Amino acid sequence: MSYFDAASSAPLHPVARQALLASLDEGWADPARLYREGRRARMLLDAAREAAAEAVGCRADELTFMSSGTRAVHTGVAGALAGRRRVGRHLIVSVVEHSSVLHAAEAWEASGGEVTTVAVDRAGAVAVEAYEAAVRPDTALACLQSANHEVGTEQPVAEVAEVCRAAGVPLLVDAAQSLGWAAVEGPWSLLAASAHKWGGPSGVGLLAVRKGVRFAVQGPVDERESGRAAGFENLPAIVAAAASLRAVRAEAAQEAVRLRELTERIRARVPQLVPDVEVVGDPVRRLPGVVTFSCLYVDGETLLHELDRAGFSVSSGSSCTSSTLTPSHVLRAMGVLSEGNVRVSLPVGTPAEEVERFLSVLPGTVAVVREKLGAPVAVPAAVVGDGDSLVVDALGRRCPIPVIELAKRIGDVPVGATVRVLSDDEAARLDIPAWCEMRGQEYVGEEPADRGSAYLVRRLS
């Protein structure tokens, strides 16, 4: 079985396993106690904090161990906003942030705060100028991920951090996806990360708060971890997290070159091997091991199941794989195709042979899924005739059926005429315009309908 979902959770690094087992014997005592076992535990905790702080690029007394990356984000956002409540109640986030950041923003807005959401381009990147324009005198905090978890696009964190510093606004960076590869550059103020993303154990997060940043802990204050993380430290997991972070950083430069070559191979060959595919994300500024693409006329859930049967574990941002039946907020914000979406994120040490096997299996797998759904092989040839419109009723049918029906019927109208697609599937709002761009047809727009919406497409060829 080839595990290609490291962006969700990386396999436990061998160094993490060794450190975890060793610290179970040595680090079980309370590090706050003064007897021998407590002092030994305190030494392990202090050494882990020093190692993690070195990797983050901060002082040891600026770093707090949390119970998860999500808890680190929530604590960081809440503490920074509370610490600057006299400045104002304005928060800035990007539209493609991890759900932990977006949920924190929703909670802030529900409590009476104001949130500005910065858009991204089709590659998933924010513009530095957009953050600069969003900053106001009452801005208390800005948040920006270092790299996107779904498409791998790296964000201009250092440039945005400079903008925020000039305006006197702290910047919180979600570095969960990138910290295993390198420290985050620029004058950021707060940073959150999660150990299981780089091969450490789950249940360990990091929160770094630079000296001078106004920060007010919310909720009951505990005497541990500078009052920012209540409860007894999971010392074995913390030691394993710090040890594995140091280990993956030592391997990062060489491994990044190798994984980047493998993902470039996937980016280049998938469109050659599989027709009607859109590779998404920035082609240059991207994480080494992540590549994402979307396949027209494919049910994402079925595709993932078929790939799993073929021995490949991948993930997807398609609405078909979601209980909400709405496409990924990242793909939606980018305006790219969401149906049949596949994210391949290669763990450290992935053999090139496994990538080649994936490329050999993928075309046949996609073809099988498309055949099951009755997808068209190609756009029908032009016809000559009168009439200027045609209605395709796809109400009650989920992705990718509305787009498949559109593709089948576009040839039934003459060039210059329109097809009106009726759909109550949220994904159609994203996938029909994406199909038009891929197929050289004109997306006219959306109109209200008795049920769902009507999407108008004009045939150009």
Q: Which residues are catalytic?
A: 320
Whether 195 contacts 202, CB under 8 Å: yes
DSSP code of 382? P
Whether 238 contacts 42, CB under 8 Å: no
Which DSSP helix (H) or strand (E) runs through 433?
helix 428-439
Please tell me the distance from the alpha carbon of residue 448 to that of residue 403, in angstroms, as a whole number. Answer: 18
Per-residue 3-state assignment (H helix, E strand, C coil) for 39-95? HHHHHHHHHHHHHHHHHHCCCHHHEEEECCHHHHHHHHHHHHHHHCCCCCCEEEEEC
Own/partner pairs, 7-10, CB within 8 angstroms, 24+ separation: 7/149, 7/150, 7/152, 7/177, 7/197, 7/287, 7/289, 7/290, 7/315, 7/343, 7/345, 8/315, 8/345, 9/196, 9/197, 9/202, 10/180, 10/196, 10/197, 10/198, 10/199, 10/347, 10/348
- Say which amino acid occupies 444: V
For 316-335, give one letter per residue: b (16+ CB within 10 A) or e. Answer: bbbbbbeeeeebbbbbbbbb
CA distance readout (Å), 134 to 107, 158, 349, 372: 20, 17, 41, 47
How do strand 389-393 and strand 418-423 relate by DSSP bridges?
parallel
